[in-house]
């Protein structure tokens, strides 16, 4: 059902949701997409470099890079990020560390 993430092992995304909907699920069209919340629990071995919020509208792909360079080795962080997903059809995240190890989720679909 799409509820998994891919990782090299040094970066883990133990949970990811958009307004409570996890990877492989669909977020209802009845909500206001201009004000949604991305929640993610991250764990890592090496300091992180960045996270990318990747989304698409069926024609274009959009990337929002979030600097994570203030992290230290062997860390964890619960992230809550407000987003505007107006006119988007899907969203997922990628997280990369300073050694280019990474993890990414499968998409949450937007009606």
What pLDDT band is residue 2 in, cutting at 50, 70 and 90?
low
Beta strand 21-22 with 36-44: parallel, antiparallel or unpaired?
unpaired
Q: Which one is predicted more confidently, 32 or 57?
A: 57
Q: Which domain does 27 fall in, by range? A: 5-110
Higher pLDDT, 11 or 1: 11
- For the chain, the domain total comes to 1
Q: What is the pTM of this model?
A: 0.89
Q: What is the CATH number of the domain that holds 87?
A: 2.60.40.770
CA-wise closest residue to 38 among 54, 53, 11, 17: 17
Percent of the chain at pLDDT exceeding 90: 84
Q: Quick check: helix, strand or coil at residue 55? A: strand
For the chain, percent helix, then strand, then coil, each to nearest 5?
A: 0, 60, 40
**What is the reported pLDDT for 8?**
77
Nearest-angstrom CA–CA distance, 53 and 47: 19
Angle at 80 between CA 77 and CA 86, to 5 degrees: 145
């Amino acid at each position: 059902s799409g509820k998994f993430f891919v990782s090299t092992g040094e970066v883990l995304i133990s949970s990811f949701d958009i307004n409570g909907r996890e990877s492989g699920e669909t977020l209802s069209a009845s909500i206001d997409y201009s004000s949604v919340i991305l929640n993610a629990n991250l764990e890592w071995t090496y300091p992180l470099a960045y996270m990318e919020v990747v989304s698409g509208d069926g024609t274009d792909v959009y990337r929002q890079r979030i600097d994570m360079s203030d992290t230290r080795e062997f860390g964890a962080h619960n992230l809550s990020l407000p987003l505007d997903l107006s006119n988007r059809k899907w969203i997922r995240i990628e997280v990369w560390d300073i050694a280019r190890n990474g993890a990414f989720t499968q998409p949450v679909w937007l009606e």
